[in-house]
Chain A
Amino acid sequence: MPRTLPELTPENRHVWTSGATGRLLISQCAACGYWVHPPGPVCPRCRARGITPREVSGRGTVATFTVNHQPWEPGLTVPYVVAIVELVEQAGLRLTTNIVNCPPEQVRIGMPVRLTFVRDEDVYLPMFAPDDGESAGTAVDGTGR
């Protein structure tokens, strides 16, 4: 059962494809430094227009999560963890994602996690694994499930 991948646009492409270089780029306001996600053409805090993709550290914590047990479609492998991860760069800067390389029953709110990528076609999905203190993951092929 293939994932539903995101439509790529000039505005969102850096988030979904920057993993090809092993880094995650998130939009940041050049004027005030505010991280803007989802990306947009203007900073919602200071209303400046200089928004630039910038690399984030890939470190974060699990803000909350759910373990999905329901096979919504035939062939969908369950269980899997859907989580909201808050990046260390800014309070409230969050990505909905999957927690991988971790048994679902071991995922906890507040758990430190580190970025890894799962490639599917031209998209590098930013996912997170328990932070074991080693360097950020590099792009891998595979389902991540």
Chain B
Amino acid sequence: MIRIGERDAVISGVGQSTIGRRLGRSGVDLSVEAVTRAVDHAGLTLADIDGVSTWPGYQPNSMGMAPVGVRDVKEALGLEVDWFCGGSETPGQFGAVFNAVAAVAAGFARHVVCFRTVTEATSIAAARNSPNPAGAVDRARVPAGSLLHWQMPFDARSAANILGMVANLHMHTYGTTRAQLGQIACTLREHAARNPKAVYRTPLTMDDYLSARMISTPFGLYDCDVPVDASTAVVISAAGCAGDLRRPPVRVEAIGSALHGRDSWDQRADLTTMAATDAARMLWRRTDLKPSDLDLATLYDGFSFLPLAWLEALAICGPGESGPFVEDGRNISFGGTLPLNPHGGQLSEGRTHGFGHLHEACLQLWGEAGDRQVPGARVAVAAAGGGPLAGCILLTSG
């Protein structure tokens, strides 16, 4: 009999900064906005917060991918914490959330604020405007410990290259088509039209999708998410604190954090699957709920292919069956069997890097999703990551 310790934790509030292209604001400024909103949403004050957790922590020269760490937020807000954690060697972006869940379940803290902040849009624009001086050659080497050590020397410079290879093999093995990938992009754009915070809200047709320029086969422009500036925060509280909160909390039914296959982009035994498969199996081992109980799914969509991979990993579809499942868009739209990313996902709302998916799942379970509310949503799964990064969480309304 396994102990399901994550049920000693709940989600008590969520908050998000403005999402935008080139906001020109600092990462810590965005983080403070998201954190204070999440704490207020929970019905707590900053004095109640005794833990902080973030992914992936501060990293230098990250081009806006990791501009803020625990220290920045703790110091900016004068938090007094009994427990804190920031780092990237976790089961994907949700590792920060799993650590917080464990901390409150263990009693290290009662209310942990978890955040993920990106300033990629501003950083990319700044780099474009200040190119290297003529003739300057930076021959810095990719460190031996980098997850991309064996990829970068071959100009595999982007996740688009690496996950493009996974998508190509999935297409080769199962007959998945570009039009099926395109349906993800087009459907999520339709969803984003209901989300005032989404960066892209104008309709995207299949013709637009298929005629867009190629990035790295099979991914064209609209298969790739959009870098933004944004911060997203969630408050993880001990289940015993539920009486102190503004609303019945979202319950954590189960988490999936497993990585049984290789921690590598290219050595996994079955290259048509990813760490998502291991994490999702663990999640379903820890609950009596089944994929058929899901009312909606918020699945990581850094690329159009990744929701397909997560649909199969989570056993919502069998191996190779995700393409046909999404093909006409009905299953994954409002009113379908499993509405996907009602907020428009990273492909249309912007690359909040996983935390946007968790934020959306919680809003849906609280019935606070406005024009994009999935009626009667009571069970949701949120999943983040691709390649060797993967984490998923099953949530229920309180």
**Which residues on the B side are within 8 Å of A5 (C-beta)?**
139, 141-142, 153
Question: Within the complex, what minimum Cβ distance (angstroms) separates A85 from chain B?
Answer: 9
Kindly state whether residue B59 has any CB partner on chain A within 8 Å. no
Binary contact track A34-55/B, C-beta < 8 Å → 1, others 0? 0001100000000000000000
Please provide the chain B residues from 145 to 172 with a CB less than 8 Å away from any CB of chain A in the complex.
Answer: 149-158, 160-162, 164-166, 168-169, 172
Stretch at the interface among B210-218, B284-292, B347-355: B210-218
User: A83 contacts the other chain (Cβ, under 8 Å)?
Assistant: yes
- Find chain B residues with CB under 8 A from A21 CB: none
Q: Is the CB of B150 within 8 A of A95?
A: yes
B161 pairs with A94, CB closer than 8 A: no
Those of B256-286 within 8 Å (CB) of chain A: 264-267, 269, 271
* CB of B84 to closest CB in A, whole Å: 31
Q: B131 within 8 Å of A by Cβ?
A: yes
Known contacts being A2-B137, A9-B144, A92-B269, is A98 close to B154, with CB within 8 Å? yes
Does any Cβ of A come within 8 Å of B143's Cβ?
yes
**Is B1 part of the contact surface with A, judged by Cβ < 8 Å?**
no
* Chain A interfacial residues counted at CB < 8 A: 40
| Cβ distance A79 to chain B, nearest Cβ, rounded Å | 8
B165 touches A64 (CB 8 A): yes
Binary CB contact string for chain B from 180 to 217 against chain A (1 if under 8 A, 0 otherwise): 00000000000000000000000000000000011111
Q: Please, which residues of chain A bring their CB within 8 A of the CB of B219?
A: 66
Count, chain B residues at interface, CB 8 A: 40
Closest chain B residue, CB of each to CB of A64:
B169
A123: chain B residues at CB < 8 Å are 153
B2 interface residue per 8 A CB criterion: no
Q: A4-B153, A96-B156 are in contact. Are A67 and B142 (CB under 8 A)?
A: no
Q: Which residues of chain B have C-beta atoms less than 8 A from A4's C-beta? A: 140-142, 152-153, 157
Instruction: Tell me the residues in window 1-28 of chain A with beta carbons closer than 8 Å to chain B beta carbons.
Output: 2-9, 11-12
| 4 residue pairs, one from A and one from B, having the closest CB atoms | A66-B164, A64-B169, A7-B141, A69-B214
Question: Which B residues form the contact surface with A (CB < 8 A)?
Answer: 131, 137, 139-144, 149-158, 160-162, 164-166, 168-169, 172, 213-219, 264-267, 269, 271
Chain A residues proximal to chain B, CB less than 8 Å:
2-9, 11-12, 37-38, 63-70, 72-74, 76, 80, 82-84, 92, 94-98, 109, 121, 123, 125, 127, 145
- A–B pairs, 22, beta carbons within 8 Å: A4-B152, A5-B139, A6-B142, A7-B144, A12-B149, A38-B149, A38-B150, A38-B267, A63-B271, A65-B165, A66-B165, A66-B218, A67-B214, A68-B157, A70-B160, A72-B155, A84-B266, A92-B267, A94-B266, A96-B265, A109-B168, A127-B154
